[in-house]
Structures are given as structure tokens and as C-alpha cells.
Structure 1
Amino acid sequence: MLRASRPLLTQLIKSTTGITGLLVHPNPLPSLLQTYQSTLDVLKTLPSHAAYRQSAETLTQRKLEIVQGALGGGMKVEEMLGEGQIEQSLDIAEDELALAGNMLEWKPWEPLVEKPMLDQWEYFGQRPGQQ
């Protein structure tokens, strides 16, 4: 019976992610929940018409619901999120939280200070609408 339980034990105790620089998180699900919630809190401070807020809020809310509803533990969450290992999902969530904070500072929804040049979007001699 010891042989049958050893593979199960090694699946429960993760010693490495196998990714250089990405350490195993001791308790990733609560951290992931907190990070998603913090991201949603920051996104709520952006204007509701901002395209970034709309897309990031929808995606983060979906991911939060997956993590909240996961009864099968980390492996099930990893599979449902489709972002690799749970530590990778946590890394992605932390990056999104940082980006949301930057967007609040950058205010990309505001009009440009200077109008763009008329030919700004012409590349290699092509005019818009030509192929």
C-alpha cells in the first residue's frame, strides 16, 4: 500500500515548478483570490467607458469565479484557467494588478494633448484602406 500512496503524495507536495525563477507558492489559491479582488478594486476606479477597464474587468471576474468555484484544488484551477501552473496564473494576476495601477496613472482614455500628424498611420507608402 505504501507504493500506491507514494505517487499520490508526490502529486500533493510540489517541490518545484520546473520554471527557472518561479518558485512554488505555499498557498496560491488565497493569494490568487486576493490579487484578483485587488485588481477589480483598482479597475472600479477607472471610468466605466474605458476599453481597458471593460475587458480587464470581464476577464478578471471570470478568473475570480473559477478560483472561487474550484473544489478540486490547484490542479483543477490550473486546468480551468488554462494559463499553465497555478504559480504562473498568480504571476499573470500580479502583472495585471500592476498594469491596472499604471493605467490609472497614465489615463489612456483621455484625449491626446497634441493631435497626431495626418500621415501618422501610413506605413511603407500605404494609405489607410489600401492593401
Structure 2
Amino acid sequence: MRPTRALLQAAVFKKTTGIFGYPVHPDPKPALESLYSRILHSLSKLPDSSTYKHSTHTLVNQRLNALKAAESVAAFEAEIGAGQIEELIEHAETELSLIPKMVEWQVWQPLEVKPLPGQWKGFDSS
């Protein structure tokens, strides 16, 4: 085996994520693309008035487009800047499992109890 081939293989296949509990996924790009597509499809169960639906759709659609356009997993990870693809797969799986709960909880409905004054105000930086 020539040295250039060994270097190419090392650049294409990572041996570890370097994160305990995150094994290297054998084929991460198609797995994440499938998860993102399933999330986008599942979001159709929420009404258009849902802020969660719009924010999640925007984020997932941006990441799906970046994933499709990326020449490599490393390029995608660098562009997104949200961790390794194995972490993004776990996040997408969690998001996909959350959507049916959001439908069940009807998160788009108005609050039953009015919030206390200042409850939704952010922390003051002064």
C-alpha cells in the first residue's frame, strides 16, 4: 500500500469520535439525511400557527440542504458547527421522538394560566 492511499483512508474513515458513548456511525450521511426528511414530514402534523413547527422546520431544512451540498462529513460538520455527525444523528432522533409529544400536548394552544408579570422576561445583563 502506498503512503498516499493510507493518508486518504485515514482522512475518509475516522476510527473514533473521541466522545465517550458515541461510536463512529458506519454510514452517517444517509442516516442523518433520512432522519431530517422524517422530521420535516412529521412536522406536517402540527398546525401552521405553531412556532415550534416553523423554527424546527427552518433549522432542519437548513441542515438538510447543507448535508446534501457537503462534499464530505467533515465539511458538513465544519459548516454546521454543532458537533460531530454522530451527535447530530442523536439530536435528530430525539427531535423526531419529540414531535408526537408536541402534537399530543398541543403546544400551539394559548396558555391556560396567564404567566406572572416578568416570567418570560430574560435575565438582565446589568
Name the counterpart of 1:62.
Answer: 62
Name the counterpart of 2:97.
Answer: 98
Q: Distance in 1 between matches of 2:53 and 2:13?
A: 37
TM-score (norm 1): 0.80
TM-score (norm 2): 0.83
**What amino acid is the match of 2:12?**
L
Question: Deviations 1:77-116 (Å, cap 9, x if unpaired)?
Answer: 111121121111111111221222221121111234x434
Q: Distance in 2 between matches of 1:54 and 1:5?
A: 45
Percentage of identical aligned residues: 36
**Greater RCO (Cα-Cα under 8 Å, separation 6 or more):** 2
**What amino acid is the match of 1:87?**
E
1:74 aligns with 2:69: no
The number of residue pairs the alignment matches comes to 121
Q: Distance in 1 between matches of 2:4 and 2:64?
A: 35
Moved beyond 4 Å, runs of 4+: none
Unaligned runs of 5+ residues in structure 2 are none
Q: Distance in 1 between matches of 2:13 and 2:62?
A: 28
The CA RMSD measured in Å over matched residues stands at: 2.3
Question: Deviations 1:23-68 (Å, cap 9, x if unpaired)?
Answer: 1100011111110011011111101011101111111111111111
1:115 aligns with 2:110: no
Based on CA coordinates, which of the two structures has the bigger radius of gyration?
A: 1
